[in-house]
Amino acid sequence: MNILKELDKRSNSQCELCAEKENLAAYPVQPTNGDNLDETILICATCSSQIEDPALINPNHWRCLNDSMWSEVPAVQVMAWRMLTLLRAEGWPQDLLDMLYLDEETLTWAKATGIGNDDDNSLVHLDANGAVLTAGDTVVLIKDLNVKGANFTAKRGTAVRNISLVHDNAEQIEGRVSGQHIVILTKFVKKNN
């Protein structure tokens, strides 16, 4: 059995997530190896690149999940749930997640990679340029910021080392500036590579 031919037939020759008809490839839904048709989906290069590299995520592209999350294919449901969970800080994905029902086995599979577990940081923190921020990164301020309660201004170009992420707000990070521990909005920083 050729999995690619079966996927093409199942999906009507289109991406099972966004319905794109070009640059399609089989994608094994982790934690599987892709040897099983039921654990593999057919997706386009755009979806694949954004799944593999969160820094490339374009939230508006994933509005397609409004349709594909209703697929009867569990592997498609799993990927829809994972992407909606990653993007839930955008607001609209949470509405879709509230409507999406996964049976217990499918939900366990969806959470197998750690996304959406209550004890992890499932929010994605992005800097002003859309780069993914992680705890311990160094960022640079891109504008002067008045620090409330500390009576000083954090100057543009100031490096903030060893940041920590605010776990319930994807738009905030914490770090030390001029010896003060402060909360900084992610839209005012860029990741220092």
What class has domain 125-191? mainly beta
Q: Are 109 and 155 in contact (CB under 8 A)?
A: no
Q: Locate CATH 2.30.30.40 in the chain.
A: 125-191
Give 98's contacts (C-beta < 8 A, 6+ positions apart). Answer: none
Compute CA 70 distance to the chain's CA centroid, rounded to the nearest angstrom: 20
Report if pTM > 0.85.
no
pLDDT tens profile 105-132: 999 999 887 665 544 445 788 888 888 8
pLDDT tens profile 53-107: 888 889 999 999 999 999 999 999 999 999 999 888 888 898 898 899 999 999 9
Q: What is the pLDDT of residue 33?
A: 65
Q: Are 137 and 130 in contact (CB under 8 A)?
A: no
From residue 98, how far is each of 76, 85, 89, 124 by CA, in Å? 17, 11, 14, 19
